[in-house]
Amino acid sequence: MVRFKNRYVLCEVVSEDPRCRQCIEDRAVGLAVRDAIGRVHGDFGLACCSISFTVKYLNAYTGTVLLRCRKDSYRLLCSALPFVRQLESRNQRYPCFLNTLHVGGTIRTCQKFLIEYNRRQLLMLLQSCTNEDERRCVQKSLLSCSLTEEQCLSGNEDDDD
Amino acid sequence: AASFERRVLRSAGEHHYLRVRLELPDGGARPNVAQFKQLVVSALKELHGEVGAALPVDVLTYEEKTLSAILRVVSSGLVKLWSALTLLGFYQNRRCAFRVLQTSPFLLALAGNSRELVL
């Protein structure tokens, strides 16, 4: 069968400025990534990657961004992500960078990866807790997301290639 | 009976050579060799961005009178260079066009041109 294959790139927005979180919106991130692709790969790269380009999911609290593009141009997109240096929205710009976490063929594989990644991040946060309140909060979230025995039996899903 | 093994190497060498001519129909000052290379690099930058502009392109010869040059480019960058030259339309706000006369992975092949053969 002939169908359009996509690649979903999962990244994390990292910034030293805490005010950058309010700037993380889909339009701002989309524009910043498009602008970086235009600078690095020119008109041809910009047009190639824009064919099926959207910001599929965004989480401003954790800074997680899920981008979609065509399978033929995902390498252009991934190579241009390190050149995103600032996010701009409502006439305010904040320096930041994008960390690529995972590239998957479907949203489902990226979601599975993100769940595992967040679990590991919670464990690391627990180790770096500074006071008792934080420790109790993180421990509560960890307990609520750990698998019990019944939940361990999850079936295999067909993945896109 | 002896058995033979035939090996065919399809690698065409690491560089490709292009003989090009710049056409400036509206006349005016002719670019010198540095401006010519700047033009080629800016064409690459427009179409292929920073990655294209960083492609190792060399101007081996340049004749200011006829505005023709021999360019050398890494083989993997031939498509990028040729497409950038094709789509370049303006030089200093004057219309211009690049004509690619000959191309070959071997520099010696550019010496003979059967189009200009006088019989």
CATH number for A41 = 3.30.70.3250
**Same-domain pairing of A37 and A85:** yes
What average pLDDT does chain A have?
Answer: 88
Query: What token pair was written down for A48?
Result: 């190639």
Could you tell me if residue A158 is inside a domain?
no
3-state SS, residue B103: strand
**Same-domain pairing of A8 and A77:** yes
Give contacts of B89 with chain A, Cβ < 8 Å.
none
Which of A43, A73, A77 to mutate to probe the B interface, most B CBs <10 Å?
A43
CA A1 and chain centroid, separation = 30
3-state SS, residue B102: strand
Q: Give the residue with greater pLDDT, B1 vs A124.
A: A124
Interval A114-142: pLDDT, tens: 999 999 998 888 888 888 888 888 888 88
Is the CB of residue B59 less than 8 Å from the CB of residue B71? yes
How far apart are the C-alpha atoms of A56 and B77, rounded to whole Å?
33
Share of chain A above pLDDT 70, in %: 91
Task: State residue B101's pLDDT score.
Answer: 94
How far apart are the C-alpha atoms of A30 and A19, rounded to whole Å?
19
Give contacts of A37 with chain B, Cβ < 8 Å.
49
Provide residues of B within 8 Å CB-CB of chain A: 44-52, 83
Give contacts of B47 with chain A, Cβ < 8 Å.
42-44
**Same-domain pairing of A21 and A88:** yes
Task: State residue B11's pLDDT score.
Answer: 74
Task: State residue A136's pLDDT score.
Answer: 86
Interval A76-120: pLDDT, tens: 999 999 999 999 988 888 999 999 999 999 999 999 999 999 999
For A43, the closest of B47, B50, B51 (CB atoms) is B47
Lowest mean pLDDT across A18-27, A36-45, B18-27, B65-74: A18-27
How far apart are the C-alpha atoms of B104 and A108, rounded to whole Å?
48
Is the CB of residue B85 less than 8 Å from the CB of residue B73? no
How far off is chain B from A51, nearest CA to CA, in Å? 17
CB contact under 8 A, A42 and B83: no
Task: State residue B118's pLDDT score.
Answer: 83
Q: Give the residue with greater pLDDT, A148 vs A9.
A: A9
Q: Give the residue with greater pLDDT, A120 vs A154.
A: A120
CA A59 and chain centroid, separation = 8
Could you tell me if residue A154 is inside a domain?
no
List the domain range (segments joined by +) for residue A53. 1-105
**Same-domain pairing of A142 and A112:** yes
Total domains in the fold of chain A = 2
**Same-domain pairing of A118 and A50:** no
Task: State residue A43's pLDDT score.
Answer: 95
**Same-domain pairing of A46 and A99:** yes
How far apart are the C-alpha atoms of A131 and A12, rounded to whole Å?
26
Task: State residue A156's pLDDT score.
Answer: 43
CB contact under 8 A, A42 and B45: yes
3-state SS, residue B22: strand
pLDDT of residue A25 exceeding 80, the answer is: yes
Question: Residues B100, B93, B36, CA angle at the centre, nearest 5°?
Answer: 45
**Same-domain pairing of A93 and A143:** no
Which of B47, B85, B88 to mutate to probe the A interface, most A CBs <10 Å?
B47
Give contacts of A39 with chain B, Cβ < 8 Å.
49-50
For B46, the closest of A37, A40, A43 (CB atoms) is A43
pLDDT of residue A158 exceeding 70, the answer is: no
Q: Which of A73, A90, A105 is the last residue of a domain?
A: A105
Average pLDDT score over residue span A47-53: 94
Is the CB of residue A5 less than 8 Å from the CB of residue A103? no
Amino acid of residue B23:
E
Residue with token string 């679990």: A119
**Same-domain pairing of A73 and A120:** no
Average pLDDT score over residue span B58-87: 95
Is the CB of residue A22 less than 8 Å from the CB of residue A13? no
pLDDT of residue B52 exceeding 60, the answer is: yes
pTM comes to: 0.84
3-state SS, residue A11: strand
- Statement: B15-102 belongs to CATH 3.30.70.3250: yes
Task: State residue A149's pLDDT score.
Answer: 52
Task: State residue A157's pLDDT score.
Answer: 45
Q: Which of A90, A105, A120 is the last residue of a domain?
A: A105
How far off is chain B from A45, nearest CA to CA, in Å? 7
**Same-domain pairing of A87 and A117:** no
Could you tell me if residue A65 is inside a domain?
yes
What average pLDDT does chain B have?
Answer: 91
Average pLDDT score over residue span B74-83: 94
Give contacts of B45 with chain A, Cβ < 8 Å.
42
Lowest mean pLDDT across A2-16, A131-145, B79-93: A131-145
